[in-house]
Amino acid sequence: MANAIQEHVQELSDTEASGTMQLVSFLLENETFAVEITKVREIILICEITAIPESPSYVKGVINLRSSVIPVIDLRGLLGLTETDLTTESRIIVVRVESRMIGVIVDGVDEVLRISKSEIAPPPPTIVGLGQDYLTGLIRLEERLLILLDLDKVLDVETGIETGRS
């Protein structure tokens, strides 16, 4: 009996040590991506975006969100995916990167979920490009794979001017 209790206490300690995290999952093309919920400030409907001349194609412009001007990035274009027309499911996820707010356009927001940090598998070393630079890891959920993005790296590497770092 004492061994069973000790094992249970050890399991609880292991769970607390590994911790959990909440993620916001979203869709791009036919894949499901996720970011830590602590990065997400809000999710809004697509609104009027004011274009910025001579900006990269993935920079769609800026929006005025409660008197704050926020740059908007098309995450499809930034990640090298085929750009498509916006739909009624498209959303802008407003995230905080460093001290800046940035909007990222996604095909749709899926869900908020809580996972154990132990469920995150490192990206395989055979993934080139996106894998090693932007992925925090991969998470298996039932019959699908969730790709955990590091938005700090995604937005800083490609858009250093957006995060205020060079």
Q: Which ranges in the chain belong to alpha helices (H)? A: 2-18, 75-78, 130-134, 151-158, 160-163
Let me know if 97 is exposed, middle or buried by CB neighbors in 10 A (0-12, 13-18, 19+).
buried
The mean of the pLDDT values for the chain is 80
Question: Does the pLDDT of residue 20 top 80, yes or no?
Answer: yes
Residues 6+ apart with CB under 8 A from 24: 34, 35, 36, 37, 40, 43, 93, 109, 111, 112
DSSP conformational letter for 42 = E
**Annotated domain spans of the chain:** 27-163
Question: Does the pLDDT of residue 165 top 90, yes or no?
Answer: no
Q: What would the pLDDT profile of 75-104 be if each residue is shown by its tens digit?
A: 888 888 888 888 999 999 999 888 889 999
Share of the chain above pLDDT 70, in %: 78
Predicted confidence at residue 7, as pLDDT, reads: 46
115 φ, ψ (degrees, to nearest 5)? -130, 160
Tell me the pTM.
0.78
Q: Which two tokens stand for residue 137?
A: 């890891």
CATH class of the domain whose range is 27-163: mainly beta
Q: What whole-number distance in Å separates Cα of residue 15 and Cα of residue 118?
A: 9
What type of residue sits at position 123?
Answer: P
Element (H, E) at 116: strand 108-116
Selected residue with higher pLDDT from 81 and 70: 70
Question: Does the pLDDT of residue 132 top 90, yes or no?
Answer: no
